[in-house]
Structure 1
């Protein structure tokens, strides 16, 4: 009875570990969390959540980033942090040049600042800048994913957006871990039965049963370790296959300068 109770507890623990517990829901960490904090006038929490969403920008939709930058700018205007608010307005306009600000939802100071930034942005777009080298920083989720898979197999794959692969690896590891614990307890019982056997004709059967479960336990333990290693290496080496990954689409066109009537060549990169 003692070993049965231990087996039940260990199996529940092993299976329970296959489902990570997150302290915050996706709504809290995403644009909805920023929006809710702003509606509750909790400006510190709004900026904190906005910073989190912006730092994970490669995993956010373009319209969500626009909304988060706009909300952060409105909060900063209310706090008289004009320079920081300008940067957020500029970031929002860089994603959506046709963005407008609702005067009903924003203060006159915020609307005035937004219009100023939009005018500057359009002026910069109208004047072709001199040729220069631009660097595009691309977030690589693999190191963070590998760390998560090191803690719990499959978690890193889910972090990279490979949900089905993560669930499969998590289920395989959880099953193998639970099987290892169960086989170990059965092996222990078989070993005790073998040592306690006094009938010479039954000793060999007791030993064979113990030896069989000993091999099963070892095989399941190796499967558990192998699944853990494969999950870690997969999260570290292979890139994310998310269909929502940001892609740059170039487009080229010829325009005419209104002042000099000379044609000019323009190149536009659209990020979606």
Structure 2
């Protein structure tokens, strides 16, 4: 019985460790493929939602971020939201000033919005205004929070790109949950030994051992519950410990944002 319980505990921990891995470039490329497919099928709103969700990942490589911004801008143009589309083209130009669109493969409507964004970028450069640094709010966009926050502490943080906090919460969650299950097995075994005691002295010592495992199981379970609740709130509000990200603003014309988080 105990050996079977140990195997179950090990299996649960291995599964949690597997699903808690941070999304890699292969997953990002797969998501970009889905966005491209949605856009080509004319599902512009769905493609926009997926693009915004991908852009919420703070660990995106610049090339992947540019691709996601591009599809988002294309979707916004298709939905006649040219002003917002131009803002996202500006985000791309801030990442890569040499970025261009193929005039043959790109629709004239998108090219017109992109040219508008390039003119706005030129106006910003000519104005010669110095950027100012302002602290950005630490709240996470609630629409970007996925089902992962309900599964296990730290998984959603890893998905959001906050890998340090994500791995800390994931490791602490695995440790506390594993301890809870381990002490539960030991408590049950100690209880069986206590009930089978054949003398008052033996019963007293075995009860002390049972009570010790009972308390250890309680504290381990309470620790996991606290970690779980903290992870839930942190997924939405980016709770401390964290350093305040910094946003770069340009006061005239469009707003260019750069986030630095640790």
Same fold (TM over 0.5): yes
**Shift, 1:49, TM fit:** 0.8
Q: Would the alpha carbon gap of residues 92 and 139 (structure 1) be closer, same or farther in structure 2, given more than 3 Å must change?
A: farther
Q: For 1:24-64, what per-residue CA distance to the aligned partner results, in whole angstroms no more than 9, with x for missing partners?
A: x767984641442223524332111112233x264434433
Is 1:108–2:114 an aligned residue pair?
A: no
For these two proteins, the number of residue pairs brought into alignment is: 236
Show structure 1 runs of 5+ residues with no match.
249-268
In the other structure, the counterpart of 1:38 is: 36
- Which consecutive segments of 4 or more residues in structure 1 shift more than 6 A? 25-29, 131-134, 148-151, 230-235, 245-248, 269-272
Structure 2 residue aligned with 1:85: 85
Pair 120,152 (structure 1): closer, same or farther in 2 beyond 3 Å: closer
Mapping for residues 176-255 of structure 1, pairs under 5 Å: 176-194=179-197, 197=198, 202-226=199-223, 229=226, 236-239=239-242
Output the CA distance in 2 between the equivalents of 1:9 and 1:93. Answer: 54
> 2:128 aligns to what SS in structure 1?
coil
Q: Could you tell me how far 1:122 is from its partner in structure 2?
A: 1.1
Would the aligned equivalents of 2:135 and 2:247 in 1 still touch at CA under 8 Å?
A: no
Greater RCO (CA < 8 Å, at least 6 residues apart): 2
- Residues 1:165 and 2:168 aligned together: yes
Alignment correspondent of 1:49: 50
Match of residue 123 from structure 1: 123
Task: Show the 5 A alignment for 1:12-27.
Answer: 15=13, 18-19=16-17
Question: RMSD between aligned alpha carbons?
Answer: 4.6
Deviation at 1:118, TM superposition (A): 0.8
1:192 offset after TM fit, Å? 2.8
Task: Judge conservation of contact 2:73–2:85 (CA < 8 Å) in 1.
Answer: yes
Distance 1:39 1:271, change over 3 A: same
Asked whether the 8 Å contact 2:69–2:91 carries over to 1, the reply is yes
Aligned mates of 2:50, 2:258 — CA distance in 1: 26
- Pick which of 185-194 and 172-181 moved more: 185-194
Change (3 A) 1:26 1:49: farther
Specify the structure having the higher radius of gyration (Cα). Answer: 1
1:117 to partner: Cα distance: 2.0
> How far off its partner does 1:149 sit?
8.5
Change (3 A) 1:156 1:87: closer
Counterparts in 2 of 1:151 and 1:33: CA distance versus 1, 3 Å? closer
What is the Cα deviation at residue 180 of structure 1? Answer: 2.4
CA distance in 2, matches of 1:155, 1:38: 26
1:68 CA drift (Å): 1.4
What secondary structure sits across from 1:168 in the alignment? helix
Query: What do residues 241-262 of structure 1 show as CA deviations (whole Å, max 9, x unaligned)?
Result: 9xxx8897xxxxxxxxxxxxxx
The normalised TM-score by structure 1 is: 0.63
1:258 corresponds in structure 2 to none
